[in-house]
């Protein structure tokens, strides 16, 4: 079994590659830090991005939402004077409506996610990191705002003074999460925003402990090449927190939780510095602009874990 820690848009590129590269039993532990309430609905962007990708219905170009979705409801919400900064498509809205309804009946997020995955024919397990509320809030000169307000509504224009995972202190790992970590053959930390995607997962103490204690081999793929992320606000967040924006900065954040660190071949001068952080550095092309590159990087990762050629690995 391969257990994967995932955020959203960057993570699903590699997850899609893994789907094509292996028959390994995949379990995805999904970030919940960017979940929020809007229009009375509970929106779980990263859980949905992963679910839609596994159901082959993710809009590949945007990296979020349902492919070919229409925005009629959003247009009408605009006409009626509602908030439209977060683009919820018509079919995407069905997920949020159903999820909110089930949660209001007292069902846990992990149960509701399982139900939605089943309905969409997803065979892999998608488990939200926690059923408790953990929200990523960004401290800016204008005050503290939820990640979605910082990123989508205000388009990351504010300086980042700090990041807080509200609720993480008391949050418990979802049932099955610790088991998925302890009993896995390997753990993969996807190329994802280390502060807002992997950070909130690791902020749940039981999860961090399990990853630190497991006998599974642990591998991470860098979301940073040189001194810049491939997309998104990771650089602004890392530098705002005083973290070096480089593969080294990411590897330090994952210190004690990762055995192998995959960085871009253009960063192969960092081998010695990575070894000093106690990770085994490996270098390859880590950009995934096409489905073929997703597959190739997934195969590379599986080879590092000796999972290709085993249990159905192609
Ligand atoms: P988010 O929840 O939408 O921010 O998505 P993630 O956290 O999963 O992904 C964002 C991160 O993935 C960013 O830091 C990007 O630099 C990284 N990323 C995006 N595309 C790629 C890619 O093709 N290769 C690698 N290695 N990282 C990528
Ligand atoms: N990201 C945007 O930049 N703008 C949007 O309007 C937007 C809508 C959206 C709707 C559903 C969904 O599942 C994700 C959506 N995202 C949107 C992506 C999302 O905000 C981010 O990728 C993650 O939350 C960051 O971790």
**Residues 96-122 pLDDT 10s:** 999 999 999 999 999 999 999 999 999
Percent of the chain exceeding pLDDT 90 equals: 96
> Which of 32, 44, 64 is the pocket-test mutation for ligand 2 (most atoms within 8 Å of CB)?
64
Quick check: 224 pLDDT over 90?
yes
CA distance 162 to 284: 32
Q: Is 33 in the pocket of ligand 2 (CB under 6 A)?
A: no
CA distance 221 to 229: 12
- The label of the residue with tokens 């050629």 reads 309
- Strands (E) located in the chain: 2-6, 26-30, 36-38, 41-43, 125-128, 135-140, 143-146, 162-166, 186-189, 217-221, 224-225, 228-229, 260-264, 280-284
Q: Is 9 in the pocket of ligand 1 (CB under 6 A)?
A: yes
pLDDT digits (tens, 9 = 90+) for 171-196: 999 989 999 999 999 999 999 999 99
Nearest atom within ligand 1 for CA of residue 197: 7
Q: Is 35 in the pocket of ligand 1 (CB under 6 A)?
A: no
Q: Is 92 in the pocket of ligand 2 (CB under 6 A)?
A: yes
Global pTM? 0.96
Q: Is 34 in the pocket of ligand 2 (CB under 6 A)?
A: yes
Among the bound ligands, the one closest to the CA of 47: 2
Residue nearest atom 21 in ligand 1 by C-alpha distance:
10
Q: Is 69 in the pocket of ligand 2 (CB under 6 A)?
A: no
Confidence label for 310 from pLDDT (cuts 50, 70 and 90): very low
Q: Is 88 in the pocket of ligand 2 (CB under 6 A)?
A: yes
Q: How many A from CA of 297 to the centre of ligand 1?
A: 14
CATH topology assigned to domain 2-136+165-304 = Rossmann fold (3.40.50)
Quick check: 313 pLDDT over 50?
no
Q: Is 55 in the pocket of ligand 1 (CB under 6 A)?
A: no
């Amino acid at each position: 079994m391969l257990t994967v820690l995932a955020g959203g848009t960057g993570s699903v590129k590699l997850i899609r590659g893994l789907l094509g590269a292996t028959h390994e039993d995949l379990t995805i532990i999904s970030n919940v830090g960017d979940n929020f309430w809007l229009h009375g609905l509970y929106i779980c962007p990263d859980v949905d991005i992963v679910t839609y990708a596994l159901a082959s219905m993710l809009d590949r170009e945007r990296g979020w939402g349902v492919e070919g979705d229409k925005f009629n409801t959003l247009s009408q919400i605009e006409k009626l004077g509602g908030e439209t900064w977060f683009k919820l498509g018509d079919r995407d809205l069905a997920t949020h409506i159903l999820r909110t309804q089930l949660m209001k009946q007292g069902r846990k997020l992990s149960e509701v996610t399982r139900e939605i995955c089943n309905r969409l024919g997803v065979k892999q397990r998608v488990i939200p990191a926690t059923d408790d509320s953990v929200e990523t809030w960004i401290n800016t000169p204008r005050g503290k705002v939820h990640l979605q307000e910082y990123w989508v509504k205000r388009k990351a224009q504010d300086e980042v003074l700090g990041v807080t995972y509200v609720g993480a202190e008391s949050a418990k790992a979802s049932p099955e999460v610790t088991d998925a970590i302890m009993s896995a053959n390997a753990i993969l930390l996807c190329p994802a925003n280390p502060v807002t995607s992997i950070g909130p997962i690791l902020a749940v103490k039981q999860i961090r402990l399990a990853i630190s204690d497991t006998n599974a081999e642990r591998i991470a793929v860098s979301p940073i090449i040189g001194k810049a992320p491939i997309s998104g606000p990771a650089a602004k967040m890392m530098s705002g927190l005083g973290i070096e924006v480089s593969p080294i900065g990411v590897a330090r954040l994952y210190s004690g939780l990762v055995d192998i660190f995959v960085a871009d071949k253009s960063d192969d001068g960092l081998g010695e510095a990575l070894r000093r952080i106690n990770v085994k550095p490996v270098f390859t092309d880590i950009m995934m602009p096409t489905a073929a590159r997703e597959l190739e990087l997934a195969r590379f990762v599986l080879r590092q874990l000796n999972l290709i050629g085993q249990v159905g690995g192609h």
